[in-house]
Structure 1
Amino acid sequence: MSNIKQVAVILVGLFVAMLLIGFFVGSAINLLVPPSEASYSDEVVEDIGGDKMLTAKLSGCVKVGEQSIPDGTFKTNLGQNLGWKNAKNISYVDTSGNKGYMIVWKDSPENYNSISGNDGVSYISDYLTSMNGLCFLVHYPEKNAVYGIILSTDEISYTEAQLLYKILDLDKNEFTSTYSQTSSTSSPSYSTGGSSHYHTVVPDRYTLSRTDPGAYYDHYEYGDNYDIDDYLESEGYD
């Protein structure tokens, strides 16, 4: 009888050992070999500034890599030349195995004059021409910082509305979109929904002069930027 008990103990011990080995081997594989696709319950959650002011959440995606990247620049659809500093690139895959990445950073307002010149919250929301993607940058005066995110659309498609209201979970009343999407297959069109786009979405002089010349004259003195002045004169404004 004692021999049977000893055999049983040995078998149980072997079973537990196999479970532990399987667990550690599986964990090592997950670390060394990134998953090829996500499950529908997976999420990529990134606290962009590390202070819970702006958080991105990608549902149905799983992170496969993260690395710091050199400072870089990008150009928006509305003509703004912007950049990121001290950023990191987070790569991920969706449930179909499509690959995507997002670049996130937190920086000084001094590097973003177009959205840091007033006391309120100001932001830029736009598609990019320098790469396939879209961006969102916001200045929070209480933190004295600008938070930025670029979302690639090379393989995984996102709209501006999805970035603002689903991924970043922003209030539609406070953060108005720059573009309106008329259908799932149409190209985005610029939305000039009143003067709010000057105060928030596109507050820089260059973009305002081309999207709303009347508002430009309301908010800036004439004669302080020859490039803009020449453009407005060519469009019949004097």
Structure 2
Amino acid sequence: MAKRKIILILALFVLIIGAFSLIGNLLEPPKADYENDVVFEKIGGDDFLNVTIKHCLKIDERDIPDGSFSTSVGKVKYYDAKNITYVDLFGNRDYFIIWKTSPDNYDWFETNESVNQYVSCYLTGDVEGKCFVEYSYEYNSVYGVMVSTAEDSISESELIYKILGLDPEGFDLAYSSTQSSYDSYSSGSGSHYHTVVPDRYTLSRTDPGAYYDHYEYGDNYEIDNYLESEGFD
């Protein structure tokens, strides 16, 4: 009889420990797994501009009302946006906002130009973050992302080249580098709006001066012959 009581007590003790462990797991904040977790979002549902944050876990997505940020280049408005919340390996929570909208909502971009244009800036005021907005003439749409840096200090280059995966050959840093892009569009407050450098062939025909600025002369005979025929040497 005493032996049976001991077994029952031990079994009850194991059940209690298991219950506390289960409750603790339920109450413990979620954390990302280094090997398996990654946050990936297609802005606007297509593949023009994507957000990739490795070693993080998405925990929430919701539509948010239209609004704006105060940034280093003035107010940046967003429309039909989504707020994506995620956690890192340590359970720290942060978020980013993405949107795709009509270029009619902005007066920054020269939509009669057959070239993509972008602005890169940082937030000012109460919210800490980095912002990138790009106009695509192929899609006739504006794509935007604001990444909060409340928990993780993300540089401009990390946002553009790592999180957005853009090519350094076509996207210059706007405020983290003294190097400027080959052309810019101004909204009246300064030349913060940069064009995206296209391929060599297109660039040689749309902006020969920019071609010389970005590529070595004399390494592509087809392009070189064309430029010479147009009076460039």
Shorter-chain TM-score: which interval?
Answer: 0.5 to 0.7
Identity of aligned residues (%): 42
Check if 1:53 corresponds to 2:36. no
Q: What is the CA–CA distance in structure 1 between the aligned matches of 2:44 and 2:162, rounded to whole Å? A: 18
Residue 196 in structure 1 maps to residue 182 in structure 2:
yes
**Are the equivalent residues in 2 in contact too, given 1:34–1:64 (CA < 8 A)?**
no
- Please tell me whether residue 89 in structure 1 is matched to residue 83 in structure 2: yes
Q: How do 1:117-136 residues align onto structure 2 when only pairs under 5 Å count?
A: 117=111, 118-130=113-125, 131-136=127-132
1:98 aligns with 2:81: no
The 1-side partners of 2:148 and 2:50 are apart by 17
Match of 2:136 in 1: 140
Task: Read off the aligned partner of 1:139 and give its amino acid letter.
Answer: Y
**1: distance between equivalents of 2:67 and 2:40?**
23
Alignment partner, residue 64 of structure 1: 59
1:207 to 180, 190, 196: 190
* CA contact 2:118–2:133 (8 Å) conserved in 1: yes
Query: Considering only aligned residues, what root-mean-square deviation do their CA atoms show, in Å?
Result: 2.3
Distance 1:34 1:164, change over 3 A: farther
State the match for 2:209 in structure 1: none
Structure 1 residues 96 and 116, CA gap change in structure 2 (3 angstroms): farther
Gaps in structure 2 of 5+ consecutive residues: 1-21, 193-233
User: What secondary structure is seen at the aligned counterpart in 1 of 2:108?
Assistant: helix
Aligned length: 166
The alpha carbon displacement at 1:127 in A equals 0.6
- 2:174 is matched with 178
Q: Secondary structure at the match of 1:208?
A: coil
Moved over 3 A (4+): 32-35
Distance in 1, matches of 2:119 and 2:28, equals 33
Inter-CA distance 116–37: structure 2 relative to 1 (3 Å threshold): farther
Alpha carbons 1:88, 1:103 under 8 Å: kept: yes
Give, as a single letter, the amino acid of the residue that structure 2 aligns with 1:105.
Answer: W
Aligned to 1:161: 157
Give the deviation of 1:75 after TM superposition.
Answer: 1.7
